[in-house]
Amino acid sequence: MKIRNLLILVVLGVMMSGCINAPDVTDTTTTLQGAKPTTTQPVVVPTTTNPNAVADDAAFEDYLIKYKQRRLFRGNNSVPDRAAYGISLRVFDLLPPVPNDFLYKVYLIKYGRFVDVASLGPEYYKQPEFDPDFTKFGLRYWADWKGENYTKKHWGTIGLRSYPFSQHVIAAPGYSFNVTVFLSTNWNIETYQGLKLEPVFITNAVSEDGKVITGLKDASQYISVNITPNEFLLTPAFPQFTEDWVKKLTFTGKIADNTPKGTYILSMRVGKPSAEKSDKWLLEYLNLYSEGADMITTDKPYLQAFIYVQ
């Protein structure tokens, strides 16, 4: 039977797992509604008869930078300015060179305008900025580390992230589909983590707009799924990003011809690797090897792929 075409719509989100002794992350973003102005002086934009002139008002220039009015995310404007991070650039030495259209692609993915994430190579997904939360939450680990009075209080041993964790698939009985997710070591983790993944179906999940979606039961009777790769080692992300700190996962599924119409929610279970792999990695990395990410309690699954069988 011919495999029919499938439309996969990606709606993005970020999932952060906890890690041992890691501090909580609080979002301090303030919405504009009801916000008090920081100054009683209005921003004055200099008038000019020259359309090519650049405003020299410092406050206005600051506004343009903060609100990204001048950033088109194209060409050389689309490469992260890591020199502005205030940390050692050696943190990124082992990563591939950043493509010139990097931030442009990241922007499109974040807002659901670029759905073919499966086509992206390691030069994209191995960059920490591929996850939009990196500059907001991730950089603080290195910023704290370089502080004059910094004292290391914990050793990051277990922690994972996935992106984009929330996705949507429109399908029908008899269809095949692929879902791509990037599973990575959390930003402050210093160990080699052994993992084995298993596809599972869940019956409840919260959508991007906060709605609780209920999936049909007995999904595994109708939809078969494989994960590639399903057993692997994630390498450290701290204090330096290493070559395999993130893995590209492909979920390949087949929907049976007799599948009832409705919504099914695909997820994954993270467990320990086989005894053979575990022994091999333990002997290789000794006290730098860890496993047990399945013991971490998360507020969101590593993946919630809503499969709408029509």
> Which pLDDT belongs to residue 150?
65
> Which pLDDT belongs to residue 45?
28
pLDDT at 14 over 60: no
45 touches 204 (CB < 8 A): no
Q: What is the pLDDT of residues 214-238, one digit of tens each?
A: 999 999 999 999 999 999 999 999 9
pLDDT at 47 over 90: no
Q: Which of 99-108, 186-195, 273-282 has the lowest mean pLDDT?
A: 99-108
Q: What is the reported pTM?
A: 0.75
> Which pLDDT belongs to residue 209?
80
Extents of the domains making up the chain: 7-19+74-309
Which residues are CB-neighbours of 106 under 8 A, at least 6 positions away? 129, 130, 132
164 touches 248 (CB < 8 A): no
> Which pLDDT belongs to residue 17?
40
Average pLDDT over residues 125-129: 96
3-state secondary structure of 141: helix
CA distance linking residue 104 with residue 170, whole number of Å: 26
Tell me the two tokens of residue 231: 């057993």
Neighbours of 114 (CB within 10 A): 17
Top-confidence residue, 254 or 75: 254
Q: Which of 23-37, 118-132, 168-182 has the lowest mean pLDDT?
A: 23-37
User: Mean pLDDT, the chain, as a whole number?
Assistant: 78
CA distance linking residue 50 with residue 53, whole number of Å: 5
> Which pLDDT belongs to residue 244?
97
> Which pLDDT belongs to residue 97?
95
Instruction: Report residue 197's pLDDT band, with 50, 70 and 90 as the boundaries.
Output: very high
CA distance linking residue 255 with residue 221, whole number of Å: 10
Q: What is the pLDDT of residues 237-258, one digit of tens each?
A: 999 999 999 999 999 999 999 9
Average pLDDT over residues 121-138: 93
Instruction: Report residue 8's pLDDT band, with 50, 70 and 90 as the boundaries.
Output: very low
Closest CA to 162 of 249, 38, 79: 249
Average pLDDT over residues 27-46: 28
Fold annotation for 7-19+74-309: Immunoglobulin-like (2.60.40)
> Which pLDDT belongs to residue 60?
58
Q: Work out the percent of the chain whose per-residue pLDDT is above 70.
A: 72
